[in-house]
Amino acid sequence: MYVPRPRRGQWAFEEFLAVSPRVTLGEGFTPLVEAPDRDAQFKLEYVSPTGSFKDRGAAAVVSRALGLGVERVLEDSSGNAGAAVATYAARAGLDAEVYVPADVPDAKLTAIRRTGARTVRVEGARADVTAACVEAVEAGEGWYASHAWQPAFLAGTKTFAVEVAAQRDWSAPDAVVMPVGHGTLFLGAYRGFEELSAAGLIDDMPALYAVQATGYAPIVAALGEGGTARPGDDPAEAVSEAGTVDSGPVPEPAGETNEVADAVHIRDPVREEELVAAVRTTGGGAVAVGEASVERHLDELHRAGFYVEPTCAAGPAGLDRLRSRGAIGPGDDVVVPLTGTGLKTT
């Protein structure tokens, strides 16, 4: 049986990475803890060095940059990815410039600036931030260390799946439920579980479920033409199980948007087709959750000792929603990552 070395963090799984470990802050091997009130396990990604799962990808993508002889990296981010890339760039001795939304939380902006990275605030939608960063890259201002585009980033997030299996004595859960914006953790998890299955280290792939914010739910729309609803459903929430449509498409109500889960405010994920394919391949699904649900679950998480950011609460909120619809059964074995710390939300 494959035996990792936990003291090396995610680099204990170097065999699964197509990147040499050139920079690290000890990221990886985050705790997997029981959440009995949720009948699930939480993987505490928010205890990573910069407070989010993005450290997995940042360590890999900056290692890739070093291998290429890059001296300056550029990234666009709503906060967590920018902080991660800036921090690992600082660790590696690289210059960094991070493009962020004009309304980025001050704590996340501070986390980026304290590394010595330059920040550029961009007015408009999240897509405008990416466009400004890409324009700078095309002008030759630096190497694009994008968490959405760079394959090395997904190589890093792939270790999430390998860790989950290793921490469970090489067994996969029945389902993994996670918040999705660009879907870098989701796709990394899919690739990781896929490789574990191919290597014979796990018997079955888990069903993967994407949780999105209402008003920012392209995967829900792609799978179920806006999701489906039944009598008594919250009109601000929609569920789409892969390949199934109940009573016909029900679009999200005009003006109904979840502004609380700001870390997944992505309407056009760059790997949308891959995300949809991963959901369908694993027999998973997608769910959109509203503000009230996220705020309620966030309060419950805090009171249970998990000090996470609002977007994290989308995971448990989505799990409850999926269970209420019967997509995930009461006896199913479920893992939910808690993706980012609450320390960067003030």
Q: Write out the H or E segment, with its range, that includes residue 74.
A: strand 72-76
Burial (CB count <10 Å: 0-12, 13-18, 19+), residue 172: buried
pLDDT band at 20 (very low <50, low <70, confident <90, very high): confident
Domain identity same for 218 and 100: no
What residues pair up with 42 in beta bridges, in sequence order? 33, 336
pTM of the full structure: 0.89
Q: Residue 84: inside a domain, yes or no? A: yes
pLDDT for 37 equals: 87
- The percentage of the chain sitting over the pLDDT mark of 70, rounded to a whole number, equals 89
Final residue before a domain boundary, out of 149, 184, 205 = 149
pLDDT for 100 equals: 95
Range of the domain at 71: 56-149
Query: Coil, strand or helix: which one is 83?
Result: helix
- Gap between the Cα atoms of 346 and 341, Å rounded: 11
Q: Residue 22: inside a domain, yes or no? A: no
pLDDT for 228 equals: 34
pLDDT for 232 equals: 41
Packing angle of the helix pair 159-167, 184-198 (nearest 10 deg): 60
CB atoms within 10 A of CB 207: 24
pLDDT band at 237 (very low <50, low <70, confident <90, very high): low
Average pLDDT, the chain: 89
Domain identity same for 183 and 43: yes
CATH of the domain at 164: 3.40.50.1100
In this predicted structure, the answer to whether residue 143 has a pLDDT above a threshold of 80 is yes
Strand order in the sheet with 32-35: 32-35, 40-44, 334-338, 175-179, 207-213, 285-289, 238-241
CA 180 to chain centre: 6
Nearest to 210 by CA among 257, 256, 275: 275
Q: Residue 5: inside a domain, yes or no? A: no
What tokens appear for 245 in the block? 């449509």
- Gap between the Cα atoms of 197 and 77, Å rounded: 32
Domain identity same for 299 and 251: yes
Higher per-residue confidence, 261 vs 317: 317
Please write the tens of the pLDDT for every residue from 184-232: 999 999 999 999 999 999 999 999 999 999 999 999 999 984 333 333 4
Q: Write out the H or E segment, with its range, that includes residue 43.
A: strand 40-44
Contact 314, 211 (CB under 8 A): yes
Domain identity same for 235 and 168: yes
Strand order in the sheet with 95-101: 118-122, 95-101, 72-76, 143-144
- How many structural domains is the chain composed of? 2
Domain identity same for 335 and 191: yes
What tokens appear for 295 in the block? 């705020």
- Gap between the Cα atoms of 343 and 323, Å rounded: 30
